[in-house]
Amino acid sequence: MGGEGQGCATHLRFYLGSVVHKRFTAPMHRFQYRSMMALVKVIEREGARAGWRRGMLFGYERWALFRFYERDYMPASSEGLQHFLQAQLESEGYDGPDLVFYALTMPRFLGRAFNPLTVFYAVDPTGQLRAVLYQVSNTFGERYTYIAFLHATSKGELAGGARLPEHWAEKIFHVSPFLENSGRYRFRTFYPGQLAQLSITLEQEGRQCFYAGFKGREIRLGGLWFWLGVLRGAVSRWRVLGLIHYEALKIWRKGAKLKRKPPPPRVPHSLARAVDTKED
């Protein structure tokens, strides 16, 4: 099921839901935890940020309970996040107008954050979605982006929280110490509305071996469910990292063998192929 409402046509949305991890090869393993994500519009011009205020609860490049810092998603040498994302698309063949980007991510909470997967939705000046960028991060402080270009999607479809085409990409970037750096990823996402939903599946040797996904419903910033999510630790970086390492220890104790970490790819992005779901 998809979201409803006006999709990305807003500067900020918060979602409270659950993250699920499943391992389908021996040793089998599954865990789930509550999580909060935000859909944030990337602001291109420095001057435009001055009027973008959410009090003490949310800040864009400024102190607040939740903060969105562009440097968490790009190299320190980049001119700005919008410029960085646009340049990545252009290096893969995009030659259209400048795009507006919306990040579905976990912003910093009390100054800390860890994002295993951030999704950037790239929208052109007419309101059509042109590309989706899946930025994957590992616990070694490295990032890699899988880029999927899309055919024109109407405003009406996006406003209704359309399910986007599934995307395939060769696995190039090392994430888990228990999985070979081979196979291919399968990405699924909806255009965020009242619901936000995304998942990534890894297939190796023709079979599914790992799945991770998030599904959440929109909540009001500062509302009851917002504070329940905060109090339950759904936004804590240390909780997320702690769970990842704790569950990794459990997998290791079940007999999983550690894989040697390869060096990061020299080019930090590659193309994903959009596939119509009817082909599966």
In tens, the pLDDT along 83-94 reads: 999 999 999 999
Mean pLDDT of the region 106-117: 82
> According to the model, what pLDDT value does residue 161 have?
65
Alpha-carbon distance of 157 to 251, in angstroms, equals 41
Q: Is 216 a member of any domain? A: yes
Q: Is 3 a member of any domain? A: no
> According to the model, what pLDDT value does residue 5 have?
41
> According to the model, what pLDDT value does residue 1 have?
34
Give the per-residue SS3 of 37-88: EEEEECCCCHHHHHHCCECCCEEECCCCCEEECHHHHCCCCCCCHHHHHHHH
> According to the model, what pLDDT value does residue 186 have?
93
Q: Is 1 a member of any domain? A: no
> According to the model, what pLDDT value does residue 201 have?
94
Q: How many helices (H) and strands (E) does the chain have?
A: 4, 15
Tokens of 268: 């930090």
> According to the model, what pLDDT value does residue 28 have?
87
Q: Is 41 a member of any domain? A: yes
Q: Is 4 a member of any domain? A: no
> According to the model, what pLDDT value does residue 277 have?
47
* Confidence class for position 178, pLDDT limits 50, 70, 90: confident
Q: Is 5 a member of any domain? A: no
Residue 274 makes CB contacts below 8 A (sequence gap 6+) with 148, 149, 150, 151, 165, 166, 167
Q: Is pLDDT larger for residue 239 or for residue 277?
A: 239
pTM comes to 0.87
Give residue-wise pLDDT tens across range 117-165.
999 999 998 888 999 999 999 888 899 999 999 876 655 556 556 788 8
CB-based contact 159:6 (threshold 8 Å): yes
Backbone angles phi, psi at 254, to 5 degrees: -80, -10
Taking 60 as the threshold, does the pLDDT of residue 95 lie above it? Answer: yes
> In a 3-state reduction of DSSP, which class is residue 93?
coil
* Confidence class for position 45, pLDDT limits 50, 70, 90: low
Q: How many domains does the chain divide into?
A: 1
Q: Is 2 a member of any domain? A: no
Domain span at residue 140? 12-279
Taking 70 as the threshold, does the pLDDT of residue 54 lie above it? Answer: no
Q: Is 30 a member of any domain? A: yes
> According to the model, what pLDDT value does residue 4 have?
41
Residue 2 makes CB contacts below 8 A (sequence gap 6+) with 160, 161, 162, 163, 190, 191, 193, 195, 197
